[in-house]
């Protein structure tokens, strides 16, 4: 009981207790000397704190003049900050969308390449494709053998090589597109920020 009352003595001293709790504390103080002593010490501490002198500071007028010389011409307008905050969120969203697009494209290419490896679309691979169907080393081998002979496992390695080559080209293309797009967004954002800062300083 006493500990519970002691915890409330600070708030009682500050006048922050509700009516019921205040009455409870006052009733307790009537017969508890320890709590009355504790309250008195809290009162003395508060008095001591508040009467501790403060050093001399410049007058309000002098201080105001110094502040007025230091503040920028204009305060921030809430609108500009909102736009910048919105753009900050836009950049990672676009990067994420681009990354998802890249992953989907790569997955579709992988599926298409595996179908090709199985020979299921042998007749269709040349259509609309501007990339070579043979790796350079395989082409050289064919030239040396005058186009004759079965290549067996070498054919498989050639297809894997072609697949990796096409995949690498597509990856580089997609990464370049993402990089250029993100770079443009960052440039736009930086120019916008620079414009806002210049208008604050020079307006």
Partner 1 sequence: MIDSALKTETVLLSDAQNGDRAAFGELVTLHYDGVIRVVYRLCGDVQLAQDAAQECFIRAWIKIAAYQPRSPFRNWLYRIAVNTALDLLRKKTEESLDEDARFKNSRDEQDGPESQLIAKEEKDMMQAAIRALPEAARCVLVLREYSELTYDEIASVLDIPIGTVMSRLNYARTRLREILNISWRNGG
CB 54 within 8 A of CB 162: no
Site string for partner 1, 88-127 (x = CB under 8 A): ----------------------------------------
Contact status: 86 vs partner 1 (CB under 8 A): no
| Cα 11 versus chain centre, distance | 42
Burial of 87 from C-beta contacts in 10 A (0-12 / 13-18 / 19+): middle
CB 74 within 8 A of CB 199: yes
Q: Which of 26, 34, 41, 84 binds partner 1 (CB under 8 A)?
A: 41
Closest approach of Cβ 70 to partner 1, in Å?
A: 6
Angle at 161 between CA 157 and CA 155, to 5 degrees: 30
| Cα 34 versus chain centre, distance | 55
Closest approach of Cβ 189 to partner 1, in Å?
A: 20
Q: Give the binding site for partner 1 (CB under 8 A).
A: 7, 10-11, 14, 16, 41-42, 45-46, 48-50, 52-55, 57-58, 60-61, 63-64, 66-68, 70-72, 74-78, 81
């Amino acid at each position: 009981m006493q500990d519970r009352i002691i915890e409330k003595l600070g708030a009682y001293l500050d006048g922050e207790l509700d009516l019921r709790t205040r009455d409870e504390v006052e009733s307790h103080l009537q017969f508890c000397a320890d709590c009355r002593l504790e309250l008195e010490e809290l009162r003395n501490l508060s008095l001591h704190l508040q009467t501790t002198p403060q050093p001399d500071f410049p007058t309000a007028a002098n201080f105001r003049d110094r502040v007025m010389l230091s503040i920028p011409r204009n305060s921030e307008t809430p609108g500009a900050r909102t736009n910048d905050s919105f753009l900050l969120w836009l950049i990672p969203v676009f990067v994420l969308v681009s990354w998802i697009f890249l992953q989907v494209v790569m997955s579709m290419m992988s599926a298409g390449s595996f179908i090709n490896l199985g020979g299921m679309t042998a007749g269709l691979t040349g259509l609309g494709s501007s990339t070579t169907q043979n790796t350079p080393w395989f082409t050289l081998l064919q030239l040396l053998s005058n186009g004759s002979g079965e290549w067996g496992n070498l054919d498989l390695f050639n297809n894997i090589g072609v697949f990796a080559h096409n995949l690498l080209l597509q990856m580089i293309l997609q990464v370049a597109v993402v990089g250029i797009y993100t770079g443009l967004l960052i440039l736009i954002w930086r120019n916008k920020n620079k414009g806002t800062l210049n208008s604050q300083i020079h307006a």
